[in-house]
Amino acid sequence: MRISSFFLPFFALLAGIGGFYLRLSEQLNVFDPVTGLPDRNAATTSWLIALSITFTLLILVFAISASARHKAEKGFESAFGTDPFAYPIIMTLIGIAWLVGTYIYFADLNAQGTLAANAVYFIIASALSAISVVLFAIEMYQDSRRKAPFALSVVPTIFMCFWLILLYRQNASNPILLSYVYQCIAIVATALSFYFTSGFLYGKPAPGKSIFMYYVAIYFCAVSLADDIHMGIRIIYCALIATNVVYSSMLLRNLQRKPQD
């Protein structure tokens, strides 16, 4: 699966870039600037939906095929191969970018005087998740037998669930589902990608489901970058894309072919 570990992330990012530009065109040309209502007959919306469905189905087929023919080694460190020193370094850089995005979001809201309680909770949870991603990578590189990684691995999943709740609350009175649906899918997919990743640590490996959620998260996070969101949030989305790229590549590279009957 070494070839796939390089090709699949590139394919997902390429599809994400295509989805990003379609979503950007949709934001600029499909939504009415006054009412915010979308044009029901817009070709851009149809093309974006078609691309999203096609990409998701292709990744689903690949994930099912990979799961049927390959297996993951027992233990997180064996399944992902956390020995290379590059692993904690890359995850540290991703964590720093995540923290930078969180700080930019905080600083801007604080300067505008719009730092509400929910935003404070989001900022704290986001920072803790970024730190947990870094500490988890360091712990797994140093000694996977410690207890700390078990707790650290679930923090990002909890944060993503909390983010989804906040996003829903912010749009509870918004009748235009199309304006935020891609962000919802991105957050759900990322929450599940973190969830299935932690499953390897808890003795519940699911390589097929993990692969599927990694690439779905990459695609929809890329599409969500075109939405009208804060720059700090965009940086967090980029950090999530990078996280899923890293873990998907590591897992695919270390999958072992199942013995033939």
Query: Tens of pLDDT along 136-192?
Result: 998 887 765 667 788 889 999 999 999 999 999 988 888 888 889 999 999 999 999
Residue 246 and residue 61 in contact, taking contact as beta carbons nearer than 8 Å: no
Element (DSSP H or E) covering residue 257: strand 256-257
Residue 41's pLDDT band, with cuts at 50, 70 and 90, is confident
CA distances from 43 to 22, 96, 133, 243, 257 (A): 10, 39, 40, 33, 43
pLDDT at 7: 86
Q: Classify 74 as helix, strand or coil.
A: coil
- 194 vs 31, residue with greater confidence: 194
pTM above 0.85, yes or no: yes
Cα(162)–Cα(160) distance, integer angstroms: 5
Query: Tens of pLDDT along 97-129?
Result: 999 999 999 999 999 988 889 999 999 999 999
pLDDT higher than 70, residue 3: no
Instruction: Output the furthest CA–CA distance in the chain (Å, rounded).
Output: 66
Which of 44, 14, 15, 27 lies closest to 226, judged by CA? 27
| Domain boundary assignment for the chain | 2-257
Q: Tokens in use for 96?
A: 């720093």
State percent of the chain over pLDDT 90: 62
Query: Tens of pLDDT along 199-221?
Result: 998 888 899 999 999 999 999 99
Average pLDDT of the chain to the nearest whole number = 90
